[in-house]
Amino acid sequence: MTRANVKSQQVPDVSTQRAAGRVEGGENSAPRALTSELDGTPPNGVPLAAVSTVPAKITTPDQAAELEAADSKYVMRPWTHPAGEPVIVARAKGCVVTDVHGKDYLDFTSGYFVNNAGHCHPRIVEAATQQLTQVLQVSGKHGTIAAIRLAEKLMSLAPKSIHKAFFTTGGSESNEFALKMARQASGKTDVAYLENAYHGLTVGAIEITHSEPYRKTAGRPLGDFSYPVPNAYCYRCEHGVDNCATQCLDTMEDKIKARPNTGALIAEPIQSVGGLAPPAKWWDRVEQIRRKHGLLLIIDEIQTGLGRTGKMFGLDHYGLEPDILVGGKGLSGGVGSLGMACASDAVVAKFFGGTTPTSGGNAVSAAAGLALIETIVEEGMIDNAARMGRYLTDAFWALKDPWIGDVRFIGLLGGVELVSNRDTKEVLPKKAISAIKDGLHTAGMLITVSGTLGNVLRLQPPLSITAAQCDLLIAAVAKTLAAVRST
């Protein structure tokens, strides 16, 4: 069942965008300096707070070297990163971060998709500062004005199937609570998830918690109780997008039928890894399948939520009405960490949670999160995300670069899939992708690489980004791709 008011809103069709002209501030607008945002204006024309006091060098060269040495000595970073990273950030404002050497970067990671209103937005800083003097933390056993107001706001924005919020301390933890809720409400153990899915990296702590009530109702880690079902990677669809009759979902239905103890399906409305937006008919059929087999729907909006896709939630593109809605990242406004697992009254009635997480719903994070939501709405940033997504799409296709196989922006979620051959869609070799990452880093662009095949430049800036700042990225990508190709 879908919400009538949003049912007609379709996910942007890339081919239409490709054909469309570029939007305001387009080809003719000259790139400005990276720091233009510091004295520039956001989409609604309201000047940002003056930050002209940012010094050219944040620390002396000796202090910067000492900080970097201390970082590599004391801080674990159990992943690989391109040359020049980690960037030790001394200051950040809007879409620009400045490292300890005074070098500016345009942040196409938004502090890992948290700072949707831009770094250190004055309204968020103000809201958090005010809250700091009132009350900080009381645990979920009691309440704070900030957490209540945030829950109220979220419920006014969420689909009508969602009634109450349970606050946690972050994304992965919220998904764990969502799984518990689904098992308790359905009385079933199994959970289906989409191929290519990412929902967090924690290990079930309950396995080392000696409490039968917790273990019995929800506790065992999923292990064999979870299984993947097909996602919608339309660019590489074996049936061909032009012949789409959602054939991939026949397999989904077969798998779900074969596992009668399945209680829930968990999915992002649009897969963030690789920026994969299913066509509306895909979600329509998933809805039919999951209702036919009595599955609860858990929608993970940790990355797609809060304006990122050009709508408040990613599910608004499809009119989905989940039983459980999960959020995180920007929900804290970037102040501390805050997550949520929200649910329908029917699910809430069967939820047995316990008094953790101890620090869930921190009042300062909640006040900042509420300010973030108000800011992205009142300063037109959600519409700006939709506009800049179209702008980037058209600009990347206009490059006609032989390595750009697909351009997928839904608002400011997604990026560019790189191939060595546009006809065969052969993935660009890892070595070239590494060199491109390094080149963009040197050019002052903070980006990440993502996708099932590790070949998608993920480009997800704050929702306040300007066309001129997008032009800087496009120029840097064009130059870098050509330079790597010529080596």
Q: Which residues are near ligand PMP by CB under 6 A? A: 170-172, 175, 198-200, 268, 272, 300, 302-303, 328
Nearer to ligand PMP, 98 or 174 (CB): 174
CA distance 212 to 224: 21
Nearer to ligand PMP, 287 or 300 (CB): 300
At closest approach, how far in Å is the CB of 285 from ligand PMP? 22
Judge contact between 41 and 47, C-beta under 8 A.
yes
Closest CA to 351 of 204, 222, 214, 220: 214
At closest approach, how far in Å is the CB of 111 from ligand PMP? 12
Cis peptide preceding 86, ω within 30 of 0: yes
CA distance 180 to 411: 32
Nearer to ligand PMP, 265 or 467 (CB): 265
CA distance 130 to 358: 23
Give the phi and the psi of residue 111 in degrees, each rounded to 5: 60, 40
What would the two tokens of residue 239 be? Answer: 């049936």
| 301 torsion bin: left (phi>0), alpha (psi -120 to 50), beta (else) | alpha
Chain center to CA of 401: 27
At closest approach, how far in Å is the CB of 163 from ligand PMP? 22
3 state SS of 179: helix
Count of CB atoms situated within 10 Å of the CB of 167: 27
Place of tokens 């074996």: 238
At closest approach, how far in Å is the CB of 173 from ligand PMP? 7
At closest approach, how far in Å is the CB of 137 from ligand PMP? 19
Residue nearest to ligand PMP (CB): 171
At closest approach, how far in Å is the CB of 22 from ligand PMP? 30
Nearer to ligand PMP, 171 or 274 (CB): 171
Nearer to ligand PMP, 140 or 328 (CB): 328
3 state SS of 89: strand
At closest approach, how far in Å is the CB of 199 from ligand PMP? 5
Nearer to ligand PMP, 140 or 305 (CB): 305
Closest CA to 23 of 433, 418, 310, 441: 310
Nearer to ligand PMP, 334 or 439 (CB): 334
